[in-house]
Amino acid sequence: MSRGISGFGVIILIIILLVVGYAGYQIAGVHFKYGSLNEKVETTVRIGPLQNDDMIREELSKVAGEMKIVLTPENIWIDRSIPDSFRIYIEYTDSSNIFGVFTYNRKFVVDQAAPIQINY
């Protein structure tokens, strides 16, 4: 008859859960940063037509830097050629190091467009 899990088994189970939880936290962090940057770009697209392209690139690079995402002006494309629309397209790679052994790499694309609204 089995008397349940031993104390050693409980310790191993806790260690496994901690390792899996930490790895999940590291991977989720990369996706959370993407969501935050996507939200910032969405806000910027709404007010973007009022700013010049260099100001937009500088602001987005600064925000990304605070999130530890490396963005260069070459990663940020601003498209004003679409009639009555404004578009920002960003492409970047982010990674997370898990225990110094595994690296989770992911390429992200943020593509936001909005109609230009003219208020009279």
pLDDT digits over 40-49, tens only? 999 898 887 7
- State the pLDDT at residue 109: 93
Give tens-digit pLDDT for 49-102: 778 888 999 999 999 999 999 888 888 999 988 888 889 999 999 998 888 888
- State the pLDDT at residue 74: 87
**Residue 34 scores a pLDDT above 90:** yes
- State the pLDDT at residue 118: 65
**Average pLDDT for 22-40:** 92
**Residue 1 scores a pLDDT above 60:** no
- DSSP-derived secondary structure for 40-82: HHHHHHHHGGGS-HHHHHHHHHHHHHHTT----GGGEEEE--S
